[in-house]
Structure 1
């Protein structure tokens, strides 16, 4: 498997699938997170990603351990919600299907650049983030 190179410094943000794969100890995801940290990148997730990724079978001890090593970006309020809503409108998307993706994209756009996102939803995230966030498929 070819290794994907990440930037020096900046931010690595995980969407729901990125967090799920990290929780499952997926080899590729663990390696990408470790590489990001070794390059001085901060690893973050949106608080909404926890809600989206966690389910009844999630190992709560593993979840707590993984979260302890990440910075959780809070959903702050009205201004962030309006910004996420604007991303949806600009992308031609709407509704609950895209709401969390929009909030994650908005959080990504607020991070220290360069920003790289681990996601399984390349198409929608590309529409939401444009070229300001580098997307890596997981």
Structure 2
């Protein structure tokens, strides 16, 4: 699972993130993102061909009402406010619904620890 920083670094061909995604795929794992991660991680100057190519290699999880309600519950349980952590909560919710083991590449390990409660492994990128 990649959060916005994970996707940003994958788009930028960051050596560490590319290697981690490749290692996961070699173990039969999927690279997964929340649909909201695209909104958060993709700046206007992004090469659209590169973006489309990277997105073709990941599974994008949609966010509907059920997922929004689950993210809201995660926020309440963690004592966090949606104004700052809404997308993180949707990403955390998506990660928690994946088949185990789940590893998330994230730049915000503190927020994700609060949202996921140690139920997934976090790798800081």
- What TM bracket, shorter-length normalisation? over 0.9
Matched, 1:109 2:90: no
- Where 1:61 maps in the other structure, the secondary structure is helix
Structure 2: gaps of 5 or more residues: none
Q: Is the 8 A contact 2:72 2:82 kept in 1?
A: no
Match for residue 61 of structure 1? Answer: 49
Residue 131 (structure 1) shift: 1.3
Residue 97 (structure 1) shift: 1.1
Q: TM-score by structure 1 length?
A: 0.89
CA distance in structure 1 between the partners assigned to 2:4 and 2:14 by the alignment: 14
Tell me whether 55-64 or 118-127 shows the greater mean CA deviation: 55-64
CA distance in structure 2 between the partners assigned to 1:36 and 1:90 by the alignment: 30
1:30-109 to structure 2, matched below 5 A, reads 30-75=18-63, 77-109=64-96
Structure 1 or 2: more strand by fraction: 1
Moved over 3 A (4+): none
Q: TM-score by structure 2 length?
A: 0.97
